[in-house]
Structure 1
């Protein structure tokens, strides 16, 4: 993480967060499905299709969150080209608070009306209030520092978007 003093337009905050249980489930499920597909041809197709579930656990089991002058990006730590960036002009305000997975729809990448989330655990979470009235939530350590930096990047009253 860059030092928070100096030109805030150059400050970048990032954290990598892992869910060991999600990664373990993904690995065990993938191995089991490949073994079943290799041993029993009658289950091969369904086993290979179910590998998508194992991949979902692996892809969302580790994330890298970055806050910069460009916005907030959350990317899979294991498959970095799978990412979502929320540009600053789409963010109205950022905050941090303790969050439980059940508040935001569960674990992994979640979507429900008015809210999208990347949830690996209960705990510290970055809450982005978007200009369209919805929220994007990311459970990540040191979310308050991330929220403070996002808010520092947002235009002040009268500066426009």
Structure 2
């Protein structure tokens, strides 16, 4: 692993934060300045949704439209920049490139969506008379992908520190007179803040809508609530190993929870995995080969006797793997130590 005091890495981190912050500020300024510049030429509410026919079939108050995009961008940009700036992600080219691609894609999507929404509503008098959207849909899909590709290319510049060599299967000696237990919980501050911001915004919009000052605010309450609940679900993961089983629990309520009997486990080890490698955060993959990704870095990997695998991003994974292997060896003495 690279020295955290390496001047080249420190200098690159500074440059990255300056560039990412500049992009975040630029997108945020455009999301606020453009609708305000055309406010006197836009209806209130605005057409914000178009049906399969290409005609507008849904609306949102002007203030809610601006606020929703800005809040979403602040959350996405803050989390994306913070996650990518972590040393473990920043010094590796592939996860850094994909993180930059995601940040660029999100900014491009919001800018393009806002641009077409404003253009369709401009000088229309009422949202029901907004221009239809047809070929613009293809641009809304393709343009953010182009932004993401540019972000991916930009993220490839910089240091690329390889992962360390594979570790041997960890083992510990068990005291036959004691019942061993290992518990580890990992939290994701970014997910916690995502949940807090999204739920707070949902409550604020709901209160404003109930007061009658923002009647269309309800259209943003549901998606913000969904984002908040998802953030809570991704805020923590807890793993417990006892002689009978391995239990994985998700979220602050430790639900949902999954228990795997020890006789179904073949062995365990530790790997470094990152969201960009497994397709993002949360439960990634398919049953039999999945990753529970809360934060990038050290993961406990369990191989089932059926051949499937489960990886969990959790702290002190080496101790958990060592205890699992020792329990398996005690239960099945023929297992190679």
| TM-score with structure 1 setting the length | 0.83
Q: Tell me how far apart the structure 2 counterparts of residues 8 and 114 of structure 1 sit (CA, whole Å).
A: 35
Match of 1:156 in 2: 332
Residues matched between the structures, number: 156
CA displacement at 1:8 relative to structure 2: 7.7
Q: Tell me how far apart the structure 2 counterparts of residues 132 and 8 of structure 1 sit (CA, whole Å).
A: 31
Asked if the contact 1:105/1:112 (under 8 Å) is kept, the reply is no
Comparing 22-31 and 38-47, the one that deviates more: 38-47
> Residue 243 of structure 2: which of 62, 69, 75 is its match?
69
Q: Tell me how far apart the structure 1 counterparts of residues 195 and 177 of structure 2 sit (CA, whole Å).
A: 39
- The answer to which structure, 1 or 2, has the higher relative contact order (CA under 8 A, 6+ apart) is 1
Match of 1:42 in 2: 216
- Summarize the alignment of residues 75-114 of structure 1 with structure 2, pairs less than 5 Å apart: 75-112=249-286, 114=288
CA displacement at 1:158 relative to structure 2: 4.8
Match of 2:187 in 1: 18
User: Helix, strand or coil for the counterpart of 1:103?
Assistant: helix
- Summarize the alignment of residues 44-63 of structure 1 with structure 2, pairs less than 5 Å apart: 44=218, 47-48=221-222, 50-63=224-237
State the Cα deviation string for residues 11-41 of structure 1 (Å, max 9, x = none): 0011111110111011101111222222234
Match of 2:319 in 1: 145
Q: Tell me how far apart the structure 2 counterparts of residues 26 and 101 of structure 1 sit (CA, whole Å).
A: 19
Alpha-carbon RMSD: 2.3
Match of 1:128 in 2: 302
Asked if the contact 1:73/1:86 (under 8 Å) is kept, the reply is yes
CA displacement at 1:122 relative to structure 2: 1.3
Higher strand share: 1
Which ranges of structure 2 fall in alignment gaps of 5 or more residues?
1-172, 210-214
User: Helix, strand or coil for the counterpart of 1:57?
Assistant: helix
> 1:27 and 2:207 equivalent?
no
Are the structure 2 counterparts of residues 49 and 8 from structure 1 closer, same or farther at C-alpha, using a change threshold of 3 Å? farther
* Max Rg structure: 2
Comparing 34-43 and 119-128, the one that deviates more: 34-43
Q: Tell me how far apart the structure 1 counterparts of residues 288 and 249 of structure 2 sit (CA, whole Å).
A: 21
Q: Tell me how far apart the structure 2 counterparts of residues 149 and 6 of structure 1 sit (CA, whole Å).
A: 12
Are the structure 2 counterparts of residues 141 and 131 from structure 1 closer, same or farther at C-alpha, using a change threshold of 3 Å? same
Higher helix share: 2
Are the structure 2 counterparts of residues 8 and 39 from structure 1 closer, same or farther at C-alpha, using a change threshold of 3 Å? farther
Are the structure 2 counterparts of residues 35 and 65 from structure 1 closer, same or farther at C-alpha, using a change threshold of 3 Å? same
| TM-score with structure 2 setting the length | 0.42
User: Helix, strand or coil for the counterpart of 1:11?
Assistant: coil
Which ranges of structure 1 fall in alignment gaps of 5 or more residues?
none
